[in-house]
Amino acid sequence: MTSQLRKDHISGRWVIIASERSKRPDDFRPAQPEKKDNPAGFCPFCSGNETKTPPEVFSLRKNGSGPDEPGWWVRVVPNKFPALTRGALPQRASQGLFESMEGIGVHEVIIETPEHDQEWSDLPLAHLRDVLWTYQQRIRSIETESQYQYIQVFKNKGKEAGASLSHPHSQIVATPIIPKRVKEEVWSSDRFFRKTKKCLFCRTLEQEITAKERLIRINSHFAVTAPFASRFPFEMRVLPLRHSPFFSKVSDAELLSLADNLKAVLTKFRNILSDPPFNVILHQGPHPVLARKTWPNVESLFHWHLEIIPVLTRLAGFEWGTGFYINPVPPELAASYLRE
């Protein structure tokens, strides 16, 4: 059987589903599990070491405990080595052909638990919901600083996925421009909406729920699917059943339902793939005020979602040159392994 080229209808990228190279979950088992950094040693994110991080900007903590003291269960601090730092919207500078601007923005770390080894699949549901609720609180707060056009929330788990500390944490970066990837998603959704008066993601959901073959789990408010044009083995997309462009508009009941789906699929994922490194990426609309100005229909046309990417394969020259990806595990097969 030859391979198949598939187009991702959201980004416009093509992937090669290479069935000739087809693999089972066991083929991705690491030779040895990843070593934790300094397991018995010092971790600035563990409870008791609060003074080793910049002062907290938000926390969920027991009554009676004070800022930067133990007693918290979720804690947000500025990144000690920020990629971007707060400031007024900078001018673009030109140097011949080259454009640049000062690196202004926000870079915060959400420490998800005081326990060094508690992954999302270990956390009680209510705790995982609190982590997601904290995302919302920080997004709402950063949105009041209107010079930041996009807020990116993401989680890197494991060294191979880019985490420099193993203590479970997520990050928030606010940027002064709308990233290219985000524009591409909104543009595709906009084109689709003009043609059909429907949301591209709502239509995708309908199709995936009917087809079933790429559906991994569905609960009261969310569906988890293996995308039709998955770039990577065991890639997942988490789509809210209720249409909304902004993560900050998700209700508390929905957050709990999201936690339920995340915990279930990540537990399965950890079991069949031996605790792989992964990234979780939030995709949402740009800053609401700006988004409404540029895309007056943004509320109708865009649909926030999460992407979960396991780090099991390597990007190579072909991917860098073409933007194509070669995926040795068809998403239909991945979904069958990940389904309960």
Q: Tell me which residues in 28-67 interact with a copy of itself (CB under 8 A).
A: none
Per the listing, tokens 């559906």 go with 215
Residue of 107, 127, 169, 305 with catalytic role: 169
Q: Count the site residues for a copy of itself by CB under 8 A.
A: 75
Give the x/- contact pattern for a copy of itself in 214-233, rule: CB under 8 A. --------------xx----
Q: Is 317 in the site for a copy of itself (CB under 8 A)?
A: yes
Q: What are phi and psi of 104, to 5 degrees?
A: -95, 150
Note whether 302 and 286 are within 8 A (CB).
no
Q: Tell me which residues in 123-162 interact with a copy of itself (CB under 8 A).
A: 150, 152, 154-156, 159-162
Determine which helix (DSSP H) or strand (DSSP E) holds 286, and give its type and residue range. Answer: none
Is the CB of 200 or the CB of 239 nearer to a copy of itself? 200
Distance between CA atoms of residues 91 and 102, nearest Å: 8
Per the listing, tokens 């005081």 go with 114
Is the CB of 72 or the CB of 176 nearer to a copy of itself? 176
Is the CB of 21 or the CB of 212 nearer to a copy of itself? 21
Largest CA distance in the chain: 65
Sheet of 169-175, strand order: 58-61, 72-78, 106-111, 169-175, 150-157, 278-283, 305-310, 236-240, 222-225, 215-218
At its nearest, how many Å lie between a copy of itself and the CB of residue 200?
8
Q: In the beta sheet, which residues pair with residue 174?
A: 106, 151
Q: Is 200 in the site for a copy of itself (CB under 8 A)?
A: yes
Q: Is 321 in the site for a copy of itself (CB under 8 A)?
A: yes
Residue 243 among the catalytic residues: no
Note whether 51 and 69 are within 8 A (CB).
no
Q: Is 194 in the site for a copy of itself (CB under 8 A)?
A: no
Distance between CA atoms of residues 117 and 119, nearest Å: 6
Q: Is 9 in the site for a copy of itself (CB under 8 A)?
A: yes
Stretch that binds a copy of itself, among 50-58, 140-148, 202-210, 295-303 (CB under 8 A): 202-210
CA angle 255, 256, 257 (to 5 degrees): 90
Q: What are phi and psi of 118, to 5 degrees?
A: -90, 100
At its nearest, how many Å lie between a copy of itself and the CB of residue 62?
30
The total of other beta-carbon atoms located within 10 Å of residue 335's CB is: 23
Q: Is 297 in the site for a copy of itself (CB under 8 A)?
A: no
Stretch that binds a copy of itself, among 4-12, 215-223, 241-249, 266-274 (CB under 8 A): 4-12
Q: Tell me which residues in 60-119 interact with a copy of itself (CB under 8 A).
A: 81-85, 87, 96-104
Is the CB of 64 or the CB of 321 nearer to a copy of itself? 321
Q: Is 5 in the site for a copy of itself (CB under 8 A)?
A: yes
Is the CB of 289 or the CB of 315 nearer to a copy of itself? 315
Ramachandran sector of residue 43 (left: φ over 0; alpha: ψ -120 to 50; beta: rest): beta
Per the listing, tokens 């080595």 go with 81
The total of other beta-carbon atoms located within 10 Å of residue 291's CB is: 22
Distance between CA atoms of residues 142 and 133, nearest Å: 14
Burial of residue 64 (CB within 10 Å: 0-12, 13-18, 19+) is exposed
Stretch that binds a copy of itself, among 7-15, 133-141, 245-253, 295-303 (CB under 8 A): 7-15
Is the CB of 4 or the CB of 220 nearer to a copy of itself? 4
Q: Tell me which residues in 265-294 interact with a copy of itself (CB under 8 A).
A: 279-283
Q: Is 315 in the site for a copy of itself (CB under 8 A)?
A: yes
Exactly one of 47, 121, 141, 171 binds a copy of itself (CB under 8 A); which one?
A: 171
**Known catalytic residues?**
169
